[in-house]
Structure 1
């Protein structure tokens, strides 16, 4: 990959994630725990107990702090940021032989605001890495997510710093004895294709303020995120649909936004991956949505119905 192409890719990615961040002045059932990222999804209900195995991630004006090693098994990543515009830390496992530039280029094209770039970018990304979630957080609003790790090397990276001259990323080596403790969710949200309808979010269980939830991406060939933004009183599904229908494809936003908070939630997951996420949601109404593009045609998934209104208790 040439230096020129890498620089262009980072610019495209930065524009995409900043759009998601602009969408606001910004997730008792058995625990459904995240799958091994090298295996089929774990759909068994397992109860988390004891002291969680944790990894701390801290983003400041000076950089990203993260450990270089951890143990395999269920791992809870606790993340915080003190600087606006930094600190949306994602987790990925790259295929053998792929490096940072390969990954960044593929991810940038898969998230591009240019629809024609997205289909091939999605294929390149699928061949380059498995996306294992992460956190959309804000200063003063930290979060956590649990993922099952197998031995090997993983990538922790800041979506919001991808276009910087010195992008923030760290390699995480997983080795040693396994652990099996993590966050226990009260609800599960699944993104999936509904035959004859299109992509939709399905909510199972009860969303609770400040409690973990599990996010599962079941859409074939599609990386996807799950974001929550507070909505204005009286906002309806029909009103949200009208707003999303008016969104142009170039990333600009129409006026009169129905959103009343910054985004919080889970960063992108590859198909058939899951993550247990805890962010500081309040007891109110939110729009659950994604700014991801359809891997088949590059259009926004919210235009195709991948959003819903949820009540957090």
Structure 2
């Protein structure tokens, strides 16, 4: 675990240095020259449905790229991007995600651990019918894969994986203006890993957040609307009951989750939301590679208010 944390910390430092370098390369007030490779990240609009899936261009120029994702459905969709590593195939990474979503804690832990070995998850979007949600991610030259995690739950359907090449001159290096920073963290407390989301409690309902995974496991940042008056203490009680199979208190949820799909250790993304103003739980539902339980069950949740 210690060596993984060292690698994750080094990766985060490198990511932060890259952000600062890009910020210096293109001041926020400067207008890019016509035809310049610098300026605002290109926007790829993605519309997802259960039956039709989605479409993507075959290639994009390297740099920051924004995926603006919508769906007309209230069904859960998870637009996830990733790269392979260590000789793994895209099918192996999808299989790892299938294991992680299996609902069996032993399989989920194995899938979460395999994801670290086989892939770099660059994020994506859990969209909603309220409006577009965007994820701006760094795409260096190479091959990327995208698919909808909802495909995993459709009987008889082989997940529809799209391939995209990042090639050509670098473009879109202007850093989006942000309203808050969210750090996805892991702490060691008495020999036990504790997971947390560090983000301010009052946020704009149409805000943009820089999300950085400073931990040594895969994490996500999704917002799930809760019943007014719900507290983090109540969520802890609720998640403990779900985890332990004991009688549960009343469900705190008003809706399903929306936000940023999973990112690997050391990866950052800019998340822009458009959600109804209300109280929400910011949570990570990715399974732990140790216990197989969702990180939210291990304390990775925070009540926030979107205004």
TM-score normalised according to structure 1 size: 0.79
Q: Does 1:80 align with 2:70?
A: yes
Describe the SS at the equivalent of 1:260: strand
Q: Does 1:256 align with 2:250?
A: yes
Find the partner of 1:242 among 237, 244, 266. 237
The CA distance in 1 between the partners of 2:54 and 2:269, in whole Å, is: 22
RMSD: 2.7
Q: Where do 1:132-211 residues align within 5 Å?
A: 132-164=122-154, 165-179=157-171, 180-196=173-189, 198-203=194-199, 207-211=203-207
The CA distance in 2 between the partners of 1:57 and 1:244, in whole Å, is: 33
The CA distance in 1 between the partners of 2:210 and 2:283, in whole Å, is: 15
Describe the SS at the equivalent of 1:194: strand
Structure 2: 5+ residue runs without aligned partners? Answer: 1-10, 30-38
Deviates more, 1:233-242 or 1:204-213: 204-213
Q: Which residue of 2 aligns with 1:42?
A: 16
Q: Is the 8 A contact 1:232 1:258 kept in 2?
A: yes
Q: Which residue of 1 aligns with 2:260?
A: 266
Report how far residue 246 of structure 1 moved: 0.8
Q: Which residue of 1 aligns with 2:41?
A: 52
Task: Give the length in aligned residue pairs.
Answer: 275
Q: Which residue of 1 aligns with 2:279?
A: 285
Q: Does 1:124 align with 2:114?
A: yes
The CA distance in 2 between the partners of 1:66 and 1:96, in whole Å, is: 26
Deviates more, 1:191-200 or 1:149-158: 191-200
Q: Is the 8 A contact 1:59 1:86 kept in 2?
A: no
Q: Is the 8 A contact 1:53 1:74 kept in 2?
A: yes
TM-score normalised according to structure 2 size: 0.80
Structure 1 runs of 4+ off > 6 angstroms?
Answer: none
**1:217–1:82 CA distance, 2 compared to 1 (3 A):** same
Report how far residue 186 of structure 1 moved: 0.9
